[in-house]
Structure 1
Amino acid sequence: MRITHEIGQWIGLTDDNGIERLRYDYASAPKPFIHPLRLPDGTVITEHEPPDHTWHRGLWFAFKFVNGINYWEERDEIFGRQETMRTPQCSALPNDSFRITSATNWRDQGQDRVRDYREWRYQIDQSGTSMLECYTKLEALEDITLDRTPFTTWGGYGGLFVRLRNDLQDAKLVFDDGTVTTRCTGERYKWGGIEGTTPDDKDCAVVFLPSPQNTRYPEPFYGAAKTDYNFFGPAPLFNGPIILKAGETLTYQVRVLIVPRRINPDEINTFLTVPPSDGG
Protein backbone atom coordinates (compact mmCIF):
# COMPACT_ATOMS: atom_id res chain seq x y z
CA MET A 1 0.00 0.00 0.00
CA ARG A 2 0.98 3.62 -0.47
CA ILE A 3 0.53 6.61 1.86
CA THR A 4 -0.40 9.98 0.40
CA HIS A 5 -0.36 12.95 2.79
CA GLU A 6 -1.63 16.31 1.66
CA ILE A 7 -0.07 18.20 4.57
CA GLY A 8 -2.60 20.20 6.54
CA GLN A 9 -5.55 18.51 4.77
CA TRP A 10 -5.83 14.71 4.56
CA ILE A 11 -4.12 11.32 4.53
CA GLY A 12 -5.01 8.66 1.95
CA LEU A 13 -4.18 4.95 1.92
CA THR A 14 -3.99 3.42 -1.56
CA ASP A 15 -3.75 -0.32 -2.22
CA ASP A 16 -1.48 -2.12 -4.68
CA ASN A 17 -4.16 -1.86 -7.39
CA GLY A 18 -4.20 1.94 -7.20
CA ILE A 19 -7.49 2.15 -5.27
CA GLU A 20 -7.56 4.72 -2.46
CA ARG A 21 -9.30 2.57 0.14
CA LEU A 22 -9.82 5.34 2.67
CA ARG A 23 -9.08 9.01 3.23
CA TYR A 24 -8.68 10.58 6.68
CA ASP A 25 -9.71 14.25 6.41
CA TYR A 26 -8.61 16.29 9.40
CA ALA A 27 -9.05 19.87 8.22
CA SER A 28 -12.07 20.51 5.98
CA ALA A 29 -14.82 20.23 8.63
CA PRO A 30 -15.42 20.99 12.32
CA LYS A 31 -14.34 17.44 13.22
CA PRO A 32 -12.11 14.87 11.51
CA PHE A 33 -13.72 12.09 9.49
CA ILE A 34 -12.95 9.22 7.14
CA HIS A 35 -14.46 9.48 3.65
CA PRO A 36 -14.55 7.87 1.26
CA LEU A 37 -14.41 4.26 2.33
CA ARG A 38 -14.06 2.04 -0.76
CA LEU A 39 -14.44 -1.61 -1.63
CA PRO A 40 -11.55 -3.41 -3.35
CA ASP A 41 -12.98 -2.58 -6.79
CA GLY A 42 -13.12 1.14 -5.95
CA THR A 43 -16.83 1.38 -5.14
CA VAL A 44 -17.48 4.18 -2.66
CA ILE A 45 -19.81 3.07 0.16
CA THR A 46 -19.95 6.13 2.44
CA GLU A 47 -22.06 9.28 2.20
CA HIS A 48 -20.70 12.80 2.69
CA GLU A 49 -22.79 15.73 3.98
CA PRO A 50 -26.22 14.51 2.81
CA PRO A 51 -28.90 17.24 2.76
CA ASP A 52 -30.84 15.69 5.64
CA HIS A 53 -27.83 15.72 8.01
CA THR A 54 -24.94 17.77 6.61
CA TRP A 55 -22.75 16.92 9.62
CA HIS A 56 -22.76 13.21 8.63
CA ARG A 57 -19.43 12.60 6.91
CA GLY A 58 -18.47 9.00 6.20
CA LEU A 59 -17.12 7.59 9.47
CA TRP A 60 -16.54 9.88 12.45
CA PHE A 61 -16.26 9.95 16.25
CA ALA A 62 -18.01 12.43 18.53
CA PHE A 63 -20.27 12.58 21.53
CA LYS A 64 -23.26 14.87 21.23
CA PHE A 65 -22.92 17.10 24.30
CA VAL A 66 -19.88 18.19 26.30
CA ASN A 67 -21.08 20.17 29.31
CA GLY A 68 -24.26 20.95 27.40
CA ILE A 69 -22.57 22.23 24.23
CA ASN A 70 -23.47 20.40 21.02
CA TYR A 71 -20.42 18.70 19.48
CA TRP A 72 -22.45 16.57 17.05
CA GLU A 73 -24.72 18.79 15.01
CA GLU A 74 -23.28 21.94 13.47
CA ARG A 75 -26.36 24.10 13.16
CA ASP A 76 -26.52 25.87 16.54
CA GLU A 77 -25.13 29.39 16.98
CA ILE A 78 -22.58 27.86 19.36
CA PHE A 79 -21.29 24.34 18.72
CA GLY A 80 -18.18 22.39 19.58
CA ARG A 81 -15.28 21.53 17.29
CA GLN A 82 -12.50 18.98 17.29
CA GLU A 83 -9.47 21.03 16.27
CA THR A 84 -6.35 19.18 15.18
CA MET A 85 -3.44 20.30 17.37
CA ARG A 86 -0.56 19.22 15.14
CA THR A 87 -0.07 17.47 11.84
CA PRO A 88 -1.24 13.82 12.08
CA GLN A 89 1.35 11.17 11.34
CA CYS A 90 0.98 8.03 9.23
CA SER A 91 3.46 5.17 9.31
CA ALA A 92 3.74 1.62 7.97
CA LEU A 93 3.62 -1.31 10.41
CA PRO A 94 4.41 -5.02 9.92
CA ASN A 95 2.09 -7.21 7.83
CA ASP A 96 1.22 -4.41 5.42
CA SER A 97 -0.73 -2.46 8.04
CA PHE A 98 -0.71 1.26 8.69
CA ARG A 99 -1.14 3.60 11.64
CA ILE A 100 -2.47 7.16 11.71
CA THR A 101 -2.00 9.09 14.95
CA SER A 102 -3.51 12.46 15.78
CA ALA A 103 -4.35 14.74 18.66
CA THR A 104 -7.29 17.13 18.77
CA ASN A 105 -8.75 19.56 21.26
CA TRP A 106 -12.51 19.53 21.73
CA ARG A 107 -13.16 23.27 21.88
CA ASP A 108 -16.08 25.68 22.13
CA GLN A 109 -16.25 29.42 22.78
CA GLY A 110 -12.46 29.59 22.72
CA GLN A 111 -12.09 27.10 25.57
CA ASP A 112 -10.54 23.61 25.35
CA ARG A 113 -12.68 21.04 27.18
CA VAL A 114 -11.17 17.68 26.17
CA ARG A 115 -7.88 16.54 24.66
CA ASP A 116 -8.30 13.60 22.30
CA TYR A 117 -5.37 11.31 21.48
CA ARG A 118 -6.48 9.06 18.64
CA GLU A 119 -4.99 6.23 16.66
CA TRP A 120 -6.33 4.48 13.56
CA ARG A 121 -4.81 1.19 12.41
CA TYR A 122 -5.69 -0.17 8.98
CA GLN A 123 -5.07 -3.55 7.39
CA ILE A 124 -6.56 -5.48 4.45
CA ASP A 125 -7.44 -9.14 4.99
CA GLN A 126 -6.81 -11.72 2.28
CA SER A 127 -10.58 -12.03 1.82
CA GLY A 128 -10.80 -8.39 0.73
CA THR A 129 -12.23 -7.27 4.07
CA SER A 130 -10.36 -4.31 5.52
CA MET A 131 -10.01 -3.81 9.26
CA LEU A 132 -9.85 -0.36 10.79
CA GLU A 133 -9.11 -0.06 14.50
CA CYS A 134 -10.12 3.14 16.26
CA TYR A 135 -8.43 3.77 19.60
CA THR A 136 -9.07 7.06 21.37
CA LYS A 137 -8.11 8.43 24.78
CA LEU A 138 -10.09 11.43 25.99
CA GLU A 139 -8.47 13.54 28.72
CA ALA A 140 -10.78 15.91 30.60
CA LEU A 141 -9.25 19.39 30.84
CA GLU A 142 -11.97 20.38 33.31
CA ASP A 143 -14.86 18.58 35.01
CA ILE A 144 -16.97 17.39 32.08
CA THR A 145 -20.17 15.52 31.36
CA LEU A 146 -20.38 13.59 28.08
CA ASP A 147 -24.05 13.25 27.24
CA ARG A 148 -26.68 12.56 24.58
CA THR A 149 -30.28 13.47 23.80
CA PRO A 150 -32.31 10.92 25.81
CA PHE A 151 -34.16 8.56 23.50
CA THR A 152 -37.88 9.13 22.91
CA THR A 153 -38.65 8.39 19.27
CA TRP A 154 -35.05 9.36 18.44
CA GLY A 155 -31.89 10.18 20.39
CA GLY A 156 -29.35 8.26 22.40
CA TYR A 157 -26.68 8.26 19.72
CA GLY A 158 -23.03 9.31 19.94
CA GLY A 159 -19.67 7.63 19.52
CA LEU A 160 -18.18 6.09 16.38
CA PHE A 161 -20.78 6.18 13.59
CA VAL A 162 -21.01 5.62 9.86
CA ARG A 163 -23.29 7.07 7.21
CA LEU A 164 -23.46 4.73 4.25
CA ARG A 165 -24.54 5.94 0.82
CA ASN A 166 -28.19 6.84 0.41
CA ASP A 167 -28.91 4.63 -2.58
CA LEU A 168 -28.23 1.24 -0.97
CA GLN A 169 -30.89 -1.36 -1.69
CA ASP A 170 -32.23 -3.96 0.73
CA ALA A 171 -30.28 -2.40 3.61
CA LYS A 172 -30.35 -4.21 6.94
CA LEU A 173 -28.81 -4.20 10.41
CA VAL A 174 -27.28 -7.52 11.50
CA PHE A 175 -26.13 -8.50 15.01
CA ASP A 176 -24.09 -11.22 16.68
CA ASP A 177 -27.10 -13.11 18.06
CA GLY A 178 -28.70 -13.49 14.63
CA THR A 179 -31.01 -10.48 14.87
CA VAL A 180 -31.72 -8.87 11.50
CA THR A 181 -33.72 -5.64 11.49
CA THR A 182 -33.91 -2.18 9.93
CA ARG A 183 -33.82 -0.18 13.18
CA CYS A 184 -31.97 -0.46 16.48
CA THR A 185 -32.61 1.76 19.50
CA GLY A 186 -30.27 0.85 22.32
CA GLU A 187 -30.20 -2.94 22.33
CA ARG A 188 -26.86 -4.37 23.49
CA TYR A 189 -24.74 -6.65 21.31
CA LYS A 190 -21.14 -7.84 21.04
CA TRP A 191 -21.07 -6.60 17.44
CA GLY A 192 -23.38 -5.09 14.90
CA GLY A 193 -23.24 -4.20 11.24
CA ILE A 194 -25.09 -2.44 8.47
CA GLU A 195 -25.26 -3.99 4.99
CA GLY A 196 -26.78 -3.30 1.60
CA THR A 197 -26.39 -3.50 -2.15
CA THR A 198 -25.42 -0.65 -4.45
CA PRO A 199 -27.49 0.08 -7.58
CA ASP A 200 -24.82 -1.72 -9.65
CA ASP A 201 -25.20 -4.88 -7.52
CA LYS A 202 -22.15 -4.49 -5.27
CA ASP A 203 -22.81 -5.95 -1.81
CA CYS A 204 -21.14 -4.15 1.10
CA ALA A 205 -21.20 -3.92 4.87
CA VAL A 206 -19.62 -2.02 7.74
CA VAL A 207 -19.41 -3.91 11.04
CA PHE A 208 -18.53 -2.49 14.48
CA LEU A 209 -16.88 -4.66 17.14
CA PRO A 210 -16.50 -2.61 20.34
CA SER A 211 -13.66 -3.76 22.57
CA PRO A 212 -14.54 -5.83 25.67
CA GLN A 213 -12.24 -3.39 27.49
CA ASN A 214 -14.73 -0.55 26.98
CA THR A 215 -16.50 0.45 30.19
CA ARG A 216 -20.02 -0.28 28.89
CA TYR A 217 -19.42 -3.48 26.95
CA PRO A 218 -21.53 -5.06 25.50
CA GLU A 219 -22.62 -1.70 24.15
CA PRO A 220 -25.99 -0.39 23.01
CA PHE A 221 -26.30 0.15 19.27
CA TYR A 222 -28.33 2.75 17.43
CA GLY A 223 -29.26 3.33 13.83
CA ALA A 224 -31.51 2.73 10.86
CA ALA A 225 -31.21 1.03 7.49
CA LYS A 226 -33.83 2.36 5.12
CA THR A 227 -34.34 4.20 1.86
CA ASP A 228 -32.10 7.30 1.70
CA TYR A 229 -30.90 6.96 5.31
CA ASN A 230 -28.32 4.38 6.39
CA PHE A 231 -26.85 5.51 9.71
CA PHE A 232 -25.41 3.20 12.36
CA GLY A 233 -22.95 2.67 15.19
CA PRO A 234 -22.38 1.71 18.83
CA ALA A 235 -23.83 4.24 21.27
CA PRO A 236 -22.15 3.89 24.69
CA LEU A 237 -24.04 6.86 26.18
CA PHE A 238 -27.48 5.56 25.18
CA ASN A 239 -28.51 4.75 28.76
CA GLY A 240 -26.74 7.59 30.52
CA PRO A 241 -23.88 10.12 30.49
CA ILE A 242 -20.25 9.61 31.40
CA ILE A 243 -18.81 12.08 33.92
CA LEU A 244 -15.08 12.78 34.16
CA LYS A 245 -13.24 14.93 36.68
CA ALA A 246 -10.51 17.25 35.45
CA GLY A 247 -7.45 15.15 34.63
CA GLU A 248 -9.34 11.87 34.31
CA THR A 249 -9.20 9.92 31.06
CA LEU A 250 -11.61 7.72 29.14
CA THR A 251 -10.24 5.17 26.68
CA TYR A 252 -12.46 3.77 23.97
CA GLN A 253 -11.74 1.27 21.20
CA VAL A 254 -13.78 -0.13 18.32
CA ARG A 255 -12.75 -2.45 15.50
CA VAL A 256 -14.46 -1.61 12.20
CA LEU A 257 -14.71 -4.08 9.31
CA ILE A 258 -15.36 -2.89 5.76
CA VAL A 259 -16.71 -5.97 4.01
CA PRO A 260 -17.17 -6.38 0.21
CA ARG A 261 -20.19 -8.71 0.63
CA ARG A 262 -23.18 -9.31 2.89
CA ILE A 263 -22.54 -10.10 6.56
CA ASN A 264 -21.66 -13.70 7.44
CA PRO A 265 -21.70 -14.03 11.26
CA ASP A 266 -19.17 -16.87 11.20
CA GLU A 267 -16.73 -14.66 9.30
CA ILE A 268 -17.28 -11.70 11.63
CA ASN A 269 -16.73 -13.85 14.71
CA THR A 270 -13.23 -14.71 13.53
CA PHE A 271 -12.30 -11.05 14.00
CA LEU A 272 -13.32 -11.24 17.66
CA THR A 273 -10.24 -13.37 18.27
CA VAL A 274 -7.77 -10.89 16.76
CA PRO A 275 -5.80 -9.25 19.60
CA PRO A 276 -6.86 -5.64 20.17
CA SER A 277 -4.49 -2.76 19.53
CA ASP A 278 -2.51 -1.50 22.49
CA GLY A 279 -3.11 2.06 21.35
CA GLY A 280 0.61 2.72 21.30
Structure 2
Amino acid sequence: MRITHEIGQWIGLTDDNGIERLRYHYASAPKPFIHPIKLPDGTVITEHEPADHIWHRGLWFAFKFVNGINYWEERDEVIGYQKILASPHAIFRKDKGFQITSGVWWKDQEKIRLEEFRQWCCQLQESGDMALTWRTMLTAQEDVTLDRTPFTTWGGYGGLFVRLRNDLKDAQLVFDDGTVTTRCTGVRHKWGGIEGTTPDGKDCAVVFLPNSRNTRYPEPFYGAAKPDYHFFGPAPLFHEPIVLKTGETLTYQVRVLILPRRIDADEINAHL
Protein backbone atom coordinates (compact mmCIF):
# COMPACT_ATOMS: atom_id res chain seq x y z
CA MET A 1 0.00 0.00 0.00
CA ARG A 2 1.24 3.47 -0.87
CA ILE A 3 0.18 7.03 -0.09
CA THR A 4 0.70 9.74 -2.72
CA HIS A 5 0.46 13.36 -1.57
CA GLU A 6 0.31 16.20 -4.08
CA ILE A 7 1.03 18.90 -1.50
CA GLY A 8 -1.68 21.52 -1.35
CA GLN A 9 -4.06 19.52 -3.57
CA TRP A 10 -4.86 15.85 -2.81
CA ILE A 11 -3.90 12.61 -1.09
CA GLY A 12 -4.31 9.23 -2.81
CA LEU A 13 -4.25 5.66 -1.50
CA THR A 14 -2.87 2.95 -3.79
CA ASP A 15 -3.20 -0.75 -2.94
CA ASP A 16 -0.60 -3.50 -3.31
CA ASN A 17 -1.85 -4.23 -6.86
CA GLY A 18 -1.11 -0.70 -8.02
CA ILE A 19 -4.76 0.50 -8.05
CA GLU A 20 -5.38 3.93 -6.58
CA ARG A 21 -8.47 3.10 -4.54
CA LEU A 22 -9.40 6.65 -3.55
CA ARG A 23 -8.25 10.24 -3.72
CA TYR A 24 -9.01 12.95 -1.14
CA HIS A 25 -9.15 16.43 -2.69
CA TYR A 26 -8.82 19.06 0.01
CA ALA A 27 -8.21 22.33 -1.87
CA SER A 28 -9.86 22.29 -5.32
CA ALA A 29 -13.49 22.92 -4.32
CA PRO A 30 -15.46 24.78 -1.63
CA LYS A 31 -15.65 21.48 0.32
CA PRO A 32 -13.06 18.68 0.48
CA PHE A 33 -14.23 15.43 -1.12
CA ILE A 34 -13.17 11.87 -1.93
CA HIS A 35 -13.23 10.95 -5.64
CA PRO A 36 -12.68 8.71 -7.40
CA ILE A 37 -13.50 5.73 -5.20
CA LYS A 38 -12.61 2.50 -6.98
CA LEU A 39 -13.24 -1.23 -6.69
CA PRO A 40 -10.21 -3.55 -6.42
CA ASP A 41 -10.12 -3.95 -10.23
CA GLY A 42 -9.99 -0.18 -10.76
CA THR A 43 -13.68 0.37 -11.59
CA VAL A 44 -14.76 3.87 -10.54
CA ILE A 45 -18.05 3.90 -8.59
CA THR A 46 -18.44 7.59 -7.66
CA GLU A 47 -19.76 10.53 -9.68
CA HIS A 48 -18.09 13.96 -9.84
CA GLU A 49 -19.95 17.24 -10.48
CA PRO A 50 -22.90 15.82 -12.45
CA ALA A 51 -24.90 18.36 -14.43
CA ASP A 52 -27.94 18.02 -12.14
CA HIS A 53 -25.96 18.89 -8.96
CA ILE A 54 -22.46 20.16 -9.68
CA TRP A 55 -21.69 20.31 -5.93
CA HIS A 56 -22.04 16.50 -5.68
CA ARG A 57 -18.46 15.19 -5.62
CA GLY A 58 -17.95 11.55 -4.69
CA LEU A 59 -18.11 11.36 -0.90
CA TRP A 60 -18.22 14.57 1.14
CA PHE A 61 -19.31 16.02 4.49
CA ALA A 62 -21.34 19.19 4.94
CA PHE A 63 -24.45 20.55 6.58
CA LYS A 64 -26.65 22.72 4.39
CA PHE A 65 -27.11 25.88 6.48
CA VAL A 66 -24.78 27.30 9.13
CA ASN A 67 -26.51 30.34 10.66
CA GLY A 68 -28.48 30.70 7.44
CA ILE A 69 -25.49 30.59 5.07
CA ASN A 70 -25.54 27.82 2.46
CA TYR A 71 -22.59 25.48 2.96
CA TRP A 72 -24.02 22.77 0.68
CA GLU A 73 -25.11 24.15 -2.67
CA GLU A 74 -22.82 26.47 -4.62
CA ARG A 75 -25.15 28.72 -6.56
CA ASP A 76 -25.92 31.47 -4.02
CA GLU A 77 -24.08 34.80 -4.13
CA VAL A 78 -22.70 34.07 -0.66
CA ILE A 79 -21.74 30.47 0.15
CA GLY A 80 -19.84 28.76 2.92
CA TYR A 81 -16.40 27.20 2.51
CA GLN A 82 -14.52 24.52 4.37
CA LYS A 83 -10.95 25.78 4.42
CA ILE A 84 -8.22 23.32 5.32
CA LEU A 85 -5.81 25.17 7.62
CA ALA A 86 -2.69 23.35 6.38
CA SER A 87 -1.91 20.31 4.27
CA PRO A 88 -3.54 17.33 6.00
CA HIS A 89 -1.27 14.97 7.91
CA ALA A 90 -1.30 11.41 6.50
CA ILE A 91 0.23 8.43 8.31
CA PHE A 92 0.18 4.65 7.97
CA ARG A 93 -1.48 2.60 10.68
CA LYS A 94 -0.63 -0.84 12.06
CA ASP A 95 -4.02 -2.20 10.92
CA LYS A 96 -3.13 -2.06 7.20
CA GLY A 97 -4.67 1.32 6.78
CA PHE A 98 -3.87 5.00 6.85
CA GLN A 99 -5.12 8.03 8.71
CA ILE A 100 -5.60 11.64 7.66
CA THR A 101 -6.04 14.49 10.12
CA SER A 102 -6.58 18.18 9.48
CA GLY A 103 -7.97 21.35 10.94
CA VAL A 104 -10.81 23.00 9.02
CA TRP A 105 -12.44 26.41 9.18
CA TRP A 106 -16.09 26.67 8.17
CA LYS A 107 -16.17 30.27 7.01
CA ASP A 108 -18.11 32.73 4.86
CA GLN A 109 -17.51 36.40 4.13
CA GLU A 110 -14.29 36.06 6.20
CA LYS A 111 -16.32 35.06 9.28
CA ILE A 112 -15.40 31.74 10.90
CA ARG A 113 -18.51 29.94 12.15
CA LEU A 114 -17.01 26.58 13.13
CA GLU A 115 -13.58 25.16 13.79
CA GLU A 116 -13.35 21.47 12.92
CA PHE A 117 -10.89 18.76 13.83
CA ARG A 118 -11.33 16.15 11.06
CA GLN A 119 -9.89 12.67 11.17
CA TRP A 120 -10.63 9.80 8.85
CA CYS A 121 -9.06 6.38 8.63
CA CYS A 122 -9.17 3.89 5.78
CA GLN A 123 -8.44 0.16 5.96
CA LEU A 124 -8.07 -2.19 3.00
CA GLN A 125 -9.32 -5.74 3.55
CA GLU A 126 -8.14 -8.92 1.83
CA SER A 127 -11.69 -9.31 0.50
CA GLY A 128 -11.29 -6.07 -1.48
CA ASP A 129 -13.50 -4.13 0.93
CA MET A 130 -12.54 -0.68 2.16
CA ALA A 131 -13.58 0.42 5.64
CA LEU A 132 -13.49 4.16 6.17
CA THR A 133 -14.10 5.70 9.60
CA TRP A 134 -14.99 9.39 9.44
CA ARG A 135 -14.73 11.36 12.70
CA THR A 136 -15.23 15.07 13.14
CA MET A 137 -15.34 17.49 16.06
CA LEU A 138 -17.08 20.79 15.27
CA THR A 139 -16.57 23.63 17.75
CA ALA A 140 -18.85 26.66 17.48
CA GLN A 141 -17.07 30.03 17.24
CA GLU A 142 -20.38 31.79 17.93
CA ASP A 143 -23.88 30.58 18.74
CA VAL A 144 -24.54 28.34 15.73
CA THR A 145 -27.61 26.68 14.21
CA LEU A 146 -26.93 23.77 11.87
CA ASP A 147 -29.99 23.46 9.67
CA ARG A 148 -31.51 22.01 6.49
CA THR A 149 -34.27 22.73 4.01
CA PRO A 150 -37.35 21.20 5.67
CA PHE A 151 -38.62 18.24 3.68
CA THR A 152 -41.60 18.70 1.37
CA THR A 153 -41.03 16.70 -1.80
CA TRP A 154 -37.28 17.08 -1.20
CA GLY A 155 -35.04 18.46 1.54
CA GLY A 156 -33.81 17.34 4.93
CA TYR A 157 -30.39 16.23 3.72
CA GLY A 158 -26.98 17.10 5.16
CA GLY A 159 -24.09 15.17 6.69
CA LEU A 160 -21.80 12.55 5.14
CA PHE A 161 -23.17 11.72 1.67
CA VAL A 162 -22.16 9.82 -1.43
CA ARG A 163 -23.05 10.30 -5.09
CA LEU A 164 -22.54 7.08 -7.04
CA ARG A 165 -22.05 7.02 -10.80
CA ASN A 166 -25.09 7.83 -12.93
CA ASP A 167 -25.06 4.68 -15.05
CA LEU A 168 -25.53 2.10 -12.28
CA LYS A 169 -28.21 -0.51 -12.99
CA ASP A 170 -30.68 -2.08 -10.56
CA ALA A 171 -29.71 0.38 -7.83
CA GLN A 172 -31.52 0.25 -4.50
CA LEU A 173 -31.29 1.25 -0.84
CA VAL A 174 -30.93 -1.44 1.84
CA PHE A 175 -31.40 -1.02 5.63
CA ASP A 176 -30.75 -2.88 8.88
CA ASP A 177 -34.35 -4.03 9.31
CA GLY A 178 -34.47 -5.66 5.88
CA THR A 179 -36.14 -2.74 4.10
CA VAL A 180 -35.24 -2.52 0.41
CA THR A 181 -36.44 0.56 -1.47
CA THR A 182 -35.42 3.20 -4.01
CA ARG A 183 -36.31 6.23 -1.86
CA CYS A 184 -35.78 7.15 1.79
CA THR A 185 -36.92 10.39 3.42
CA GLY A 186 -36.09 10.55 7.10
CA VAL A 187 -36.73 7.03 8.41
CA ARG A 188 -34.37 6.18 11.28
CA HIS A 189 -32.04 3.19 10.95
CA LYS A 190 -28.89 1.82 12.58
CA TRP A 191 -27.32 1.55 9.14
CA GLY A 192 -28.21 2.04 5.51
CA GLY A 193 -26.56 1.37 2.19
CA ILE A 194 -26.87 1.99 -1.53
CA GLU A 195 -25.97 -0.68 -4.08
CA GLY A 196 -26.01 -1.22 -7.83
CA THR A 197 -24.30 -2.79 -10.82
CA THR A 198 -22.09 -1.06 -13.36
CA PRO A 199 -22.86 -1.48 -17.10
CA ASP A 200 -20.06 -4.06 -17.36
CA GLY A 201 -21.54 -6.17 -14.56
CA LYS A 202 -19.54 -5.06 -11.51
CA ASP A 203 -21.57 -5.03 -8.29
CA CYS A 204 -20.80 -2.34 -5.73
CA ALA A 205 -22.19 -0.86 -2.52
CA VAL A 206 -21.55 1.91 -0.01
CA VAL A 207 -22.88 1.34 3.52
CA PHE A 208 -23.08 3.98 6.29
CA LEU A 209 -22.98 2.92 9.95
CA PRO A 210 -23.41 6.00 12.18
CA ASN A 211 -21.81 5.70 15.60
CA SER A 212 -24.22 4.85 18.42
CA ARG A 213 -22.91 7.85 20.41
CA ASN A 214 -24.01 10.35 17.75
CA THR A 215 -26.58 12.89 18.93
CA ARG A 216 -29.43 11.58 16.73
CA TYR A 217 -28.72 7.82 16.74
CA PRO A 218 -30.39 5.85 15.22
CA GLU A 219 -30.17 8.40 12.44
CA PRO A 220 -32.62 9.44 9.75
CA PHE A 221 -31.47 8.58 6.23
CA TYR A 222 -32.15 10.40 3.00
CA GLY A 223 -31.56 9.51 -0.62
CA ALA A 224 -32.71 7.95 -3.85
CA ALA A 225 -31.64 5.17 -6.18
CA LYS A 226 -33.28 5.84 -9.51
CA PRO A 227 -32.15 6.01 -13.14
CA ASP A 228 -29.26 8.48 -13.53
CA TYR A 229 -29.38 9.58 -9.87
CA HIS A 230 -27.83 7.66 -6.97
CA PHE A 231 -27.47 9.86 -3.89
CA PHE A 232 -27.53 8.68 -0.27
CA GLY A 233 -26.41 9.18 3.32
CA PRO A 234 -27.39 9.63 6.98
CA ALA A 235 -29.15 12.94 7.58
CA PRO A 236 -29.04 13.81 11.30
CA LEU A 237 -30.77 17.19 10.79
CA PHE A 238 -33.70 15.75 8.83
CA HIS A 239 -36.32 16.28 11.55
CA GLU A 240 -34.81 19.26 13.38
CA PRO A 241 -31.69 21.43 13.46
CA ILE A 242 -28.82 21.16 15.93
CA VAL A 243 -28.00 24.27 17.99
CA LEU A 244 -24.54 24.83 19.48
CA LYS A 245 -23.59 27.53 21.95
CA THR A 246 -20.30 29.39 21.56
CA GLY A 247 -17.47 27.02 22.43
CA GLU A 248 -19.68 23.92 22.37
CA THR A 249 -18.37 20.93 20.40
CA LEU A 250 -20.37 18.44 18.33
CA THR A 251 -18.64 15.09 17.79
CA TYR A 252 -19.89 13.05 14.85
CA GLN A 253 -18.63 9.70 13.59
CA VAL A 254 -19.68 7.36 10.77
CA ARG A 255 -18.15 4.12 9.53
CA VAL A 256 -18.40 3.68 5.76
CA LEU A 257 -18.01 0.30 4.07
CA ILE A 258 -17.15 0.31 0.36
CA LEU A 259 -17.89 -3.13 -1.06
CA PRO A 260 -17.17 -4.85 -4.41
CA ARG A 261 -20.49 -6.72 -4.11
CA ARG A 262 -24.10 -6.21 -3.10
CA ILE A 263 -25.19 -5.87 0.52
CA ASP A 264 -25.72 -8.84 2.82
CA ALA A 265 -27.74 -7.55 5.79
CA ASP A 266 -26.50 -10.26 8.17
CA GLU A 267 -22.90 -9.37 7.33
CA ILE A 268 -23.46 -5.66 7.94
CA ASN A 269 -25.37 -6.26 11.17
CA ALA A 270 -22.31 -8.12 12.45
CA HIS A 271 -20.37 -4.84 12.25
CA LEU A 272 -22.70 -3.33 14.86
TM-score, structure 2 length as denominator? Answer: 0.99
Match for residue 88 of structure 1? 88
The change in CA–CA distance for 1:271 and 1:126 in structure 2 (over 3 A counts) is: farther
- The alignment status of 1:268 with 2:268, answered yes or no, reads yes
Q: Quote the Cα distance in structure 2 between the aligned partners of 1:192 and 1:40.
A: 22
Q: Quote the Cα distance in structure 2 between the aligned partners of 1:175 and 1:181.
A: 9
Match for residue 120 of structure 1? 120
Match for residue 178 of structure 1? 178
SS at match of 2:271: helix
Q: Shift of the alpha carbon at 1:270? A: 2.4
Q: Quote the Cα distance in structure 2 between the aligned partners of 1:35 and 1:184.
A: 24
Q: Quote the Cα distance in structure 1 between the aligned partners of 2:246 and 2:190.
A: 31
- The alignment status of 1:169 with 2:169, answered yes or no, reads yes
* RMSD of Structure 2 on Structure 1 (CA): 0.6
Q: Which amino acid aligns with 2:85?
A: M
Q: Quote the Cα distance in structure 2 between the aligned partners of 1:124 and 1:219.
A: 26
Q: Which amino acid aligns with 1:234?
A: P
SS at match of 1:268: helix
Q: Quote the Cα distance in structure 2 between the aligned partners of 1:270 and 1:42.
A: 27
Match for residue 152 of structure 1? 152
Q: How many residues align?
A: 272
Structure 1, unaligned stretches of length 5 or more? 273-280
SS at match of 2:87: coil
- Aligned 1:51-62 pairs, distance under 5 A: 51-62=51-62
Q: Shift of the alpha carbon at 1:120? A: 0.8
Q: Which amino acid aligns with 1:215?
A: T
Deviations 1:79-133 (Å, cap 9, x if unpaired)? 1000111110100011211101111100001111001110110001222111000
Identity of aligned residues (%): 75
Q: Quote the Cα distance in structure 2 between the aligned partners of 1:103 and 1:25.
A: 15
- The alignment status of 1:44 with 2:49, answered yes or no, reads no
Deviations 1:168-225 (Å, cap 9, x if unpaired)? 0000000000000000000000000000000000000000000001011000000000
Q: Quote the Cα distance in structure 2 between the aligned partners of 1:102 and 1:36.
A: 20
- The alignment status of 1:196 with 2:207, answered yes or no, reads no
Q: Quote the Cα distance in structure 1 between the aligned partners of 2:246 and 2:95.
A: 39
SS at match of 2:151: coil
Match for residue 23 of structure 2? 23
Q: Quote the Cα distance in structure 2 between the aligned partners of 1:105 and 1:242.
A: 18
Q: Quote the Cα distance in structure 2 between the aligned partners of 1:171 and 1:262.
A: 10
Match for residue 136 of structure 2? 136
Deviations 1:9-42 (Å, cap 9, x if unpaired)? 0000000000001101001100100001100110
Q: Quote the Cα distance in structure 1 between the aligned partners of 2:270 and 2:240.
A: 31
Match for residue 104 of structure 1? 104
Q: Quote the Cα distance in structure 2 between the aligned partners of 1:248 and 1:114.
A: 10
Q: Which amino acid aligns with 2:49?
A: E
Deviations 1:201-253 (Å, cap 9, x if unpaired)? 00000000000010110000000001110000000000100000110000000
Runs of 4+ residues deviating >6 angstroms: none
Q: Quote the Cα distance in structure 2 between the aligned partners of 1:112 and 1:265.
A: 41
SS at match of 2:208: strand
Q: Quote the Cα distance in structure 1 between the aligned partners of 2:127 and 2:69.
A: 43
Q: Shift of the alpha carbon at 1:268? A: 1.1
Q: Quote the Cα distance in structure 2 between the aligned partners of 1:55 and 1:42.
A: 24
SS at match of 1:224: strand
Q: Quote the Cα distance in structure 1 between the aligned partners of 2:129 and 2:264.
A: 12
